Amino acid sequence: MALSFFLLTLAFTQAINGIHHAGSSTGIKQLLNDSESTVGGIPFATRAYWMRKANQALPDLGSPCPWAAFGSVVVNHTTAEELGDLICSGVNENLKSGNPVSHGEIAAITNCTDILTNKDGRFKLTSLEALEAFKGFTLYTNAESCPMCAAAIRWAGFKEYVYGTSMETLIRMGWPQIRISSREVFEHSTDLPSSSNIIGGILMNETDPYFAWQFDPSSSCPRGCDRPRAGRNCRRSERRPGFCYQKGLTWMCRVSDVIKSYIIDSGISLKTLVS
């Protein structure tokens, strides 16, 4: 009992302080103010909800830990629904399709176009109507877009573009990048007829881990994945989900995950804790 209480207290402390996988304390501070803060006129809790959906697009459309873990969702915040309306999602499909430019944002835009113009779908828009519809949508992506995708976002005319992990963080983690930020692309797109707002750094403490393990063998795998052997790539776990996930007690699993990761990252053995 004493050990369980110690571990629970330790996990709570780490979560509050943002030590574990918190690329910045900003994400933690925002999480603590979900009910009060707004970002671009929309509650932070709503922004966080859709950023988590961008992360969730990875297992929904492929794997919880693909190498290129870039996921996106497109949302309509102009509807009467409190959270907004999900239009489509997309993930990086380079390895799956062999298409070198099929990044998560491009895949999402393509999927949205197909959904909006599907004659048997719920929208049934014409091509011109679909082009116009994008101007009212928000694109959420779990990492800052490359220059190609940032340009595509501007050409599409999205009302908002929201990202999690920054390009600077991706570079620091070892990801090769064309070092032109989204903001620079947007600043050079003023000739376009529409304008798009940029909102960055949303929920970085949850998006960063998806990109940390690829170039760091000591980094923890995303939830639902593990390393078969030390130093190997993360793979979908073959173990059944924990009891708390099966019973819908997600918060309990998150505490457990923080505890396990903290112990692993700190090099603490269970024997040491017990003794």
The verdict on residue 148 lying in a domain is yes
Q: Report the distance separating Cα 156 and Cα 185, nearest Å.
A: 14
Q: Report the distance separating Cα 132 and Cα 78, nearest Å.
A: 14
The verdict on residue 244 lying in a domain is no
The verdict on residue 259 lying in a domain is no
Q: Report the distance separating Cα 117 and Cα 152, nearest Å.
A: 19
CA torsion 108-166-189-157 (nearest 10°) is 30
Give Cα 57 to chain centroid, integer Å: 9
The verdict on residue 228 lying in a domain is no
Residue 13 pLDDT? 43
Res. 23 pLDDT band, cuts 50 70 90:
very low
The verdict on residue 265 lying in a domain is no
Query: Which has the closest alpha carbon to 196: 112, 144, 136?
Result: 136
Q: Are 207 and 142 in contact (CB under 8 A)?
A: yes
Q: Which range scores top for mean pLDDT: 10-19, 36-45, 83-92, 258-267?
A: 83-92
The verdict on residue 111 lying in a domain is yes
CA torsion 177-180-181-182 (nearest 10°) is -100
pTM of this structure? 0.76
Query: Domain residues for 50?
Result: 33-221
Each residue of 223-236: pLDDT tens digit? 999 998 777 899 99
Q: What are phi and psi of 96, to 5 degrees?
A: -75, -40
- Interhelix angle 25-32/44-61, rounded to 10 degrees, is 120
Each residue of 28-42: pLDDT tens digit? 333 434 446 999 999
Q: State the greatest distance between any 2 C-alpha atoms of the chain, in Å, as a whole number.
A: 69
Exposed, middle or buried by CB within 10 Å (0-12, 13-18, 19+), for 164? buried
The verdict on residue 3 lying in a domain is no
Residue with tokens 């990086």: 92
Distances (CA, A) of 130 to 87, 197, 232: 12, 20, 44
Q: Is 197 helix (H, G, I), strand (E, B) or coil?
A: strand
Q: Token pair of 7, please? A: 């571990």
> How many structural domains comprise the chain?
1
Residue with tokens 């599907």: 118
Each residue of 187-201: pLDDT tens digit? 999 999 999 999 999
Q: What are phi and psi of 238, to 5 degrees?
A: -85, -10
How confident is the prediction for the chain on average, in pLDDT?
83
Report the CATH number at residue 136.
3.40.140.10
Residue 31 pLDDT? 40
The verdict on residue 192 lying in a domain is yes
Of 5-14, 51-60, 211-220, 248-257, the one with minimum mean pLDDT is 5-14
Q: Are 138 and 160 in contact (CB under 8 A)?
A: yes
Between 255 and 70, the more confident residue is 70
Query: Which has the closest alpha carbon to 139: 107, 99, 93?
Result: 107
